[in-house]
Structure 1
Amino acid sequence: MDSDLSVSIPRVLIVSRRCVRKSKFVDFVGEYHLDLIVGYGAVPVIVPRVSGVNKLLDSFEPIHGVLLCEGEDIDPSLYDAESTNLSPEELEQIRRLHASDTAIDREKDSIEFRLAKLCLERNIPYLGICRGSQVLNVACGGTLYLDIEKEISNTFAKSQRVKHIDYDNYDGHRHVIKVIESSPLHHWFKDSLEEGKMEISVNSYHHQGVKRLAQRFVPMAYAPDGLIEAFYDPDAYNPEEGKFIMGLQFHPERMRQPDTDQFDYPGCPKAYQEFVKAVIVYQKKLDSTTSVPKPMNLNQEMENKRKVILWSFSFARNMFTTGQELHPSKESELKAGAEFPQCNTALSQQENRLEQIGATVRNGGSYIERLQLNEESESLAKNVMGEMSIEQLSDLLPFYHVMGQICSEVLERKLNGINCQ
């Protein structure tokens, strides 16, 4: 029962962050994230930030969801950082003030960007918190401010500046954001919004943020200084259908009242709840495309035809592999009308193979005609599939791969007289 349960629970990948403790590197993920993922019915799978893991991500399949959260600044070269008016002296001030964040971790970048692009290709549910939202934006072609204070805050009067980070009060710090009407964020927090206002107070600690939002995304909230605090892809958001692509710059998981686990607003955990809902649906859809179908029950007439086809193919294959000629006394064993299994090799190779096995069966000419039709159909299929999206092809590939495996296994067992029931 336990092993069945472990297989049935959907998996959410979370990349760890590296820090130094007692002169050694330590990987960690905040427990608030883990608690919420587990609480809503998924199992968190921690991807360690270790050299080489970016080449081993296939080992973490199946992936039903990805949550990316805290970490260092993203390497500016990944989003072709636009020219900035910041002087070398200002850049050095930023590095000193935000030393723990400006130490770029390219290994973590490599792991997380591969996961983000995988989610975008397959429509795997993705929730980005803080840095995770920045990864999502950059992965889709957006850009970031190198430093909010120097590029945005300093353009406002002191009384109008927004403090996005407070090193002395991480969890207790709050600032106002304006929620966009009819967005998922509005739906989650609507019962907490004051009449006539669309504002909530959120926790955040970041010195960078979205500068140019990628084209596919729509904002869900802004800070008073104009910084985008939340966004999502409306074409890839429907938790009931297993769709969820979203980034939150603030930290709803940390918006809790002092010394308690009670949230500031009932809507705070909603992002995780809806994300896991999408993950569960996505897992079910994925499992349905890879499940093994039940064997077909054949009536007696169909069973006889199947035996004729398999026997004819087995007989012809043996002739081909041994190089033996067809003895006249055995010609009746190669039933007229028996159909050879079709394959995708070139027509000339098929004709040579028919000649090699002395295939003078009465349907040989019609078989070659079918091969010609197959080539035309194959060419047409390639043209059609060339117009399909990566997502559509990704859905088709595992289905036909599994069907091919099943067909090969059943055929081999049938040829050897083994019952497949």
Structure 2
Amino acid sequence: MSIFAHRPVVGVIGNRGLVNDRYPVHEGGQMNSCAVAHVSDCLPLLIPADPEMVSVSELLEVCDGFLLTGGRPNIHPHEYGEEPTEKHGAFDRARDAITLPLVRACVERGQPFLGICRGFQEVNVAMGGTLYPEIRELPGRMNHRMPPEGTLEEAFALRHKVRLAPGGRFAALFGAEEVLTNTLHGQGICQPGPRIVIEGRAEDGTPEAIYVKDAPGFTLAVQWHPEWNAEHDPVSRPLFQAFGAAVRDWAAAKR
């Protein structure tokens, strides 16, 4: 790891939450920050994803790259032309208002981002795609949601294989055409955006690994949670390392 003084900055997109069910906070999982700091070798900076507090233009200048994290609230279906239902769950319109234009701006500028779970879905929606509200209700699909009980280790346990496109970016990164991942999501890609390339699918066909076609920068996103055990997992570690290298390249070019 490099000395702390000159690490590039990764904006870690935060979520809204409540402490003791009453005190509003902006929050981010510690495992996200640990993966950025210890594996990507960058400085994690938690972002309050709210247009009343930050703007996309400010974030693009302050940060060198972005980690689009998971989160319990889902993207509002109005963002992809559909009406909300009970199956769509809770929403965070403030985060929608920041992350979706942020993804599009990063794609245009070549500024790197890594999408995880909800962040994976944000990349697809930002690029014109749509989502299924509940994957497990589709014929032939498995239940990808977090197990309702058990320890944190059991919740993030490796649960299914992801098959990767031979010769693709993810296969090259992982050195394999099939990897084992966790799964903790309810929604998933329905229609991919016009520039979204799906390179990885779960055994039931659910899209799991994507990037943006013809984007000048790092635009990889995964539906699973690679931040869990990122320092030691053979799939998570190279993903965060590659993201960190892209962020350092951006920061160096900016300087």
TM-score norm. by structure 2 comes to 0.86
Which of 1 and 2 has higher RCO (CA within 8 Å, sep 6+)?
2
- Give 1:19's aligned residue: 17
C-alpha distance in structure 1 between counterparts of 2:50 and 2:197, whole Å: 34
User: Paired residue for 1:35?
Assistant: 34
Partner of 1:278: 246
**Which consecutive aligned stretches of 4+ in structure 1 deviate over 6 angstroms post-superposition?**
none
Cα offset, 1:121, TM superposition: 2.2
Shift of 1:253: 2.2
Matched residue pairs, number? 245
Aligned residue number for residue 407 of structure 1: none
Match of 1:107 in 2: 94
Kindly name which structure, 1 or 2, has the bigger radius of gyration based on alpha carbons: 1
Contact kept in structure 1, 2:56 and 2:102, CA below 8 Å: no
Greater helix percent: which structure?
1
The root-mean-square deviation of aligned C-alpha atoms, in Å, is 2.5
SS in 2 for 1:181: coil
Partner in structure 2 of residue 204 of structure 1: 183
- On the 8 A contact 2:108/2:215 being kept in 1, the answer is no
Aligned to 2:53: 53
d(CA) in 1 for partners of 2:98, 2:215: 22
Report which of the two has the higher share of strand: 2
Distance 1:60 1:217 in 2: 22
- The structural deviation recorded for 1:80 is 1.0
Distance 2:247 2:181 in 1: 25
Looking at structure 2, the residues matched to 182 and 60 of structure 1 have their Cα atoms a distance apart, in angstroms, of: 32
Gaps of 5+ in 1: 96-101, 238-242, 288-421
CA distance in 2, matches of 1:48, 1:135: 16
Question: Structure 1 residues 201 and 286, CA, compared in 2 at 3 Å: closer, same or farther?
Answer: same
Residue in 1 that maps onto 2:107: 120
Matches of 1:21 and 1:57, distance apart in 2: 30
Report the Cα offset of residue 15 of structure 1: 1.5
Structure 2 unaligned spans of 5+? none
1:244 paired to 2:218: yes
Q: Tell me the distance in 2 between the aligned counterparts of 1:234 and 1:118.
A: 15
Question: Does 2:79 match 1:78?
Answer: yes
1:186 partnered with 2:184: no
Aligned amino acid, residue 18 of structure 2: V
State the match for 1:226 in structure 2: 205
For each residue in 1:36-65, what CA deviation from the matched residue of structure 2 results, as whole angstroms up to 9, or x when unmatched? 211232111111145602447516723311
2:207 maps to a residue whose letter is: I
CA distance in structure 2 between the partners assigned to 1:119 and 1:51 by the alignment: 17
Instruction: Select which of 158, 161, 172 maps to 2:157.
Output: 172
Q: Counterpart amino acid of 1:116?
A: V
